[in-house]
Chain A
Amino acid sequence: MVAFITADSLFGPFFRKYFYYYDSYPLVIQIAIFLTGVAISTTFIAYSSILFRRGRGYLIDVRTRKINTFLDNLITDHIIFNEDVMNGVAPHDAELDITPFTKPVFKQKWVKQALIDRLMYFSSSFSGDRNVLFRRLFVELELEKLSFKKIKSVFNSTKILGLVELTSMGIAVADVIILPLTNSRDRKLRSEARIAYIKLSKNDPFKFFDDATEPLLLWDQLELFKIITTTEGLTIPNFARWITYSPNKSIVSFCLKLVMHYNQSEAIPAIVKLLETKDHYLRVDAINCLGKLKAEGVESHLVAMYNNQPLRCQIEILKALGRFASGNQINFLRTEFIRSTDFDIKKNAARSLISHGIQTKEIVQNLIDTATPDSAIILKHCMNPLIKY
C-alpha cells in the first residue's frame, strides 16, 4: 500500500499530464498503465545492461590480453630466464631485479592484481627454483600485503581471494588467522581456508580435523585430497586418530580414503573398531578400506558379521574377500553364490571367487556347468575381460 502511495506521488503527476483521464480510470487500469511503464523501462534497462556488459567484457578482454602479454614478457625475461639461477646460483641467493616491476604502470590497482594473477598462474605451472623466485618477487613487491589485507576484508568473496593468492604463492599464514575460517558458515570460504591451512600451516596442518564441526563435502574432499597428496614436505599423520575419535562422520570417511591412499596398515585396528558403528554408510566405507588394505586378519570377523548386515555392507564384505583372495573363504563365497537370490550378491560373490585365480578355477568351471543359465551367465560376465564392472 505504502509502495503504491509513494509510486502515485512520484508518477501521478506524470500520468495526469500525459493521460488526461488517468485519475478517473479504474484502479486495475491505473495499475496496468503504471506497470506498463515499469515493464518498458525495465526492458530498456535490460538492453542497456546487455550492451554495457558486452562492451565492458570486450574492453576488459582487450586490456587483459595487452597487460598479460606485457607481464608475461617481464616475468619471462627477469624470472624464468634469471641469469643467476641459470648459472646455478641458489634461488634464495640469486639477484632479483625488481625495478621493471616498479614502473608507474604498476601503481594502478588492476595492474597489480593482474600481476598477482600471472604470478599465481606461473607458480602453478613451474616448480622448484622458479617457484622460489616467483615467491620472492611476490614478497619483495609487497603484494602479499595486499593479499593479507584481503583476508581481513568483511566480504567473504574478498577473503577467499586473499586466501587463494597466499596459498598459490606458498606464503605462510599464522594459524590464528586461518583456523577460525575453517569452520566458517560460508561453504567456499571454509573450503579455501581448509586448503590454505593444510598447505600453509607450519605447526599441525591437520589440526582443523579436530575441530571441524561443518561437514566435509565430497567436493571439499576432492580438493583436500589433492592438496594433501601433492603438497611437498607435508608430514602425513596416522589418520587412525580421527577414525577413532572424530565425531564428524565426513572427516572419518575422508580419513578412510587417506588411509587407503597411504596404505596405512597401522590404522587397521581403528577401522575394525569402526565396524561397530551404527551408520551403515560409514561401515561400508570401513569394509571397503579394509579390503583395499588387504587386511586379511579381519577376514573371519567380516564373515562372522556378514549375516547381520544390510545389503550394501554384505556386498562390500564380498568385495573385500575377493581383494584378500586368501583362499580361506572359497566355500563361503561359493555358498553365497549358489544360495543367494539377490543379483548383486551373486555377482559380487562370483567376482570374488574368480579373483582367487587358479585356486578357484575348477570350482568356477564346475559352477558354470551345474548352475542355472542365469547364474552361469553371471559367472561368464565376471570372467569376461571386456566387461569391467
Chain B
Amino acid sequence: MKTGTYIELVGEFYEGSVFIYGTTLLIIYAILAILSLTAVRRFNVLDTRIDYNLLLNSKLTPGVSVIAPAFNEALTIIQNVHSLLNLNYPKYEVIIVNDGSTDDSLEKMITEFELIEVDFAYNERLKTKAVKRIFRSTNSAFNKLIVVDKVNGKAKADASNAGINVSSFDYFICTDVDSILDRDTILKLIKPVMDDSKKRVIATGATLRMANSCIIEQGFMQRVVVPKQILPRFQEIEYIRSFVMGKMGWTVINCVPNVSGGLGMFDKEIAIQAGGYDPQSFGEDMEMVIRMMTYCINYKIAYAIRYIPITLCWTEGPATIKVYGRQRSRWARGLAQLMFAHRKILFNPNYGRLGMIVMPYNFVFELLAPIIEALGLIYYVVIIFLGAINWPFAIILLIFVYSYAIMISTLSILWDQITYHTYKTWREILTLCVTAFFEMLVYHPLIVFYSLKGYWNFLANRKHTWGNMQRQGFGQQASRTRVITATN
C-alpha cells in the first residue's frame, strides 16, 4: 500500500471520529444550555419568594462549620477571618487551619482574636499530619472561632481534613481563607439541603467569580467589577460558563461532577465515611465528591448534589501566564489522576449516572479534549503541507466552531444576567461579550497547552514541590500563597 493511501485512511478515520466527537459535544452543550436555563429560571422564580431570614431566628436551623485552611497569609488573614466571623447565620463556627505557616499568621491571629491554647479533644476521624495546638478566643465576640495549628501537610486537603476532624456540626463549608464570601453564603447553601425529602443532599455549591478588580473593604465585597486584566477576564467568562451553564445544567439531572474547592457545603458524615479529602490528589475537591457519590451508591443512599446559580464567592484568579499555567497544569493532572484512580467506575452501569454519565463525560470531553484538539492541530499542519486541505470547507468548519463557541459563551452571560444583576454598567457586560470573541483564539490554546503539560507530568510521574503564587491581595500588598507545581 502506498504511503498516501495510509495517510488518507488515517485522515478519513480521524475526520470521521472527530466529526462524531464534535457533534456529540455540541449536542451536549445545547442540552446543557436548555437544562441550565430551566434551572436558572426556576431558581429565579422560587428564590424571590424565599424568606431566608427564617433561618436567622429559628430553633430548627442546622449548624454549619466553615473550614478555611491558611498557609502564609499573614498580610490578609486578620481581615479575612473577621469577614468569615461576620457571616449572616445564627449557628456556625469558623475553623481556621494554620497549615504550618512560616510567617507570623498564627501570632497575628493570637493577638487580634485574644486566643489561648485549650485542651481540645481532637478526634482524628480523618488521618492528617499532627495537630500541634488548638486555640479558642477568650473574647466572647469571637466565640465562633477555632484556630487549629498543625504541621504542614503539603496540601490543602490535609488541612481541610484537620478542620473536618475539629468541626462540631453536621455540615461543613470548605473555602479558602483568601476568598471573599457573600454575607448570606451559609443561608443560601443550606437551603437546598433542607429542600429535598427524597434524596440526601450530600453537597451544594454556588458560582465563583474573579475578585481581581472588585472593590473589597474589610473582607466584604463592596462593588463587583469585571476584571480589568485580560487573563482574569477570560477566567470570569470561563467560570460563568462552567458554573451557570455547566453545573446548573448538570444539577437538573443530578450529574454534577464536582463542587469547587473554593466554596462548597458538604454532608460531614458522608464526607468522613468516604475518606475525606485525599492529600495525594491534585484535584482533591472533585476527587472527594466522586468518592462521596461512590460511597452513596455502594450503600444505596439516594443522594443529590445541588448547585445554585448565584455568586457567593470571589477568588483572586491568576493574572500572569506563569501562575495560570501552574494552576491549570495542576488541575489537568488532578483530572488524569482521578480518572486513573476511579477507572473501575468509568462506563460501569452499576454506578448509575456516575458510571454512565458523569465519569464518561469528564473522561471523553474534559480529559481527552486537549489531546484531540492538539492532534487536530497537527493533522491540520500535515494536510496543509501535503496540499490535501480543502480551504473553503476548512474555513466554513472553523467559522462554525468559532460562532458556536461564542454563542455558548453569550448564552451563559445571558443566563447569568437572569439571576445576577451586580454589574452596574452596560460597559461591563459589553466587555464580557467582546472578550468572548477572543477567548477561542487567545485563551483556549493556553488551556490546551497547560492541560497537556499536566497530563505529561502525570504520565512522567514528576515530583511536585511547593511553588509560590504571587497574589495581589485586595487593595493590599502582595501576599504569597502556595500552589502545587510540577518540577523535575
Contacts and interface: CB of A to CB of B under 8 A. Distances in A.
A225 B60 contact: yes
Interface in A364-389: 374, 377-378, 380-382, 384, 386-389
Contact of B421 (A25, A57, A219): A57
A39 B433 CA distance: 15
Contacts of B137: 386
Contacts of B54: 222-223, 226
B407 A39 contact: yes
A26 B392 CA distance: 12
Interface string B416-438: 01100100001001000100000
Nearest to A37: B403
Interface string A49-71: 11001100100000000000000
Contacts of A223: 54
B413 A29 contact: no
B389 interface: no
B194 A218 contact: yes
Given A36-B399, A343-B121, A217 B194 contact: yes
B121 to A, nearest CB: 4
A284 B339 CA distance: 40
Given A46-B410, A50-B414, A389-B168, A219 B400 contact: no
Nearest to A226: B54
From B118, B191, B193, B407, residue with most partner A Cβ within 10 Å: B407
Given A261-B59, A386-B137, A40 B403 contact: yes
Interface in B194-213: 194-197
Nearest to B423: A54
Interface in A42-90: 42-43, 46-47, 49-50, 53-54, 57
Contacts, number: 124
A218 B411 contact: no
B119 A33 contact: no
A60 to B, nearest CB: 12
A99 B431 CA distance: 51
Contacts of A26: 393
Contacts of B59: 225, 257, 261
A344 B123 CA distance: 9
A380 B134 CA distance: 13
Contacts of B429: 50, 54
Contacts of B399: 36
A46 B407 contact: yes
Contacts of A388: 143, 168
A347 interface: yes
B120 interface: yes
A222 B61 contact: yes
A265 interface: no
A39 B400 contact: yes
A39 B406 CA distance: 8
The main secondary structure of chain B at its interface with chain A is helix
B410 A386 contact: no
Interface string B101-121: 000000000000000101111
B418 A347 contact: no
Contacts of B138: 386
Contacts of B386: none
Contacts of B397: 29, 32
A343 B403 contact: no
B204 to A, nearest CB: 13
Nearest to B169: A389
A36 B396 contact: yes
A58 B45 CA distance: 19
A388 B196 CA distance: 30
The main secondary structure of chain A at its interface with chain B is helix
Interface residues of A, number: 50
Nearest to B55: A222
Interface in B106-162: 116, 118-121, 123, 136-138, 143
From B45, B59, B168, residue with most partner A Cβ within 10 Å: B59
A219 B45 contact: no
Contacts of A325: none
B414 A49 contact: yes
A39 B119 contact: no
A382 B168 CA distance: 13
Given A33-B396, A386-B137, A46 B403 contact: no
A382 B407 CA distance: 59
B223 to A, nearest CB: 17
B418 A381 contact: no
Interface in A337-366: 343-344, 347
Given A39-B400, A53-B418, A226-B58, A387 B120 contact: yes
B195 A381 contact: no
A302 interface: no
Nearest to A342: B123
A238 interface: no
Contacts of A343: 121, 123
A225 B55 CA distance: 11
B157 to A, nearest CB: 22
Nearest to B196: A217
A219 B191 contact: yes
From A26, A46, A343, residue with most partner B Cβ within 10 Å: A46
Nearest to A380: B119
A42 B405 CA distance: 12
B446 to A, nearest CB: 23
A90 B49 CA distance: 34
B60 A188 contact: no
B19 interface: yes
Nearest to B166: A389
A10 interface: no
A233 to B, nearest CB: 21
B466 interface: no
A259 to B, nearest CB: 13
B404 A39 contact: yes
A180 interface: no
A164 interface: yes
Contact of A218 (B60, B403, B417, B426): B60
A218 to B, nearest CB: 4
Given A50-B413, A218-B60, A387-B120, 20 more contacts: A29-B393, A39-B407, A40-B407, A47-B410, A47-B433, A50-B429, A53-B417, A54-B417, A54-B429, A217-B196, A218-B62, A222-B58, A225-B58, A261-B59, A347-B123, A377-B120, A386-B116, A386-B136, A386-B143, A389-B168
7 contacts: A32-B397, A35-B400, A49-B414, A54-B426, A222-B61, A225-B60, A347-B121
Interface of A: 25-26, 28-29, 32-33, 35-36, 39-40, 42-43, 46-47, 49-50, 53-54, 57, 157, 160, 164, 187-188, 215, 217-219, 221-223, 225-226, 250, 257, 261, 343-344, 347, 374, 377-378, 380-382, 384, 386-389
Q: What 7 A-B pairs are tightest by C-beta distance, nearest first?
A: A389-B168, A218-B194, A380-B119, A381-B121, A39-B403, A32-B400, A215-B197
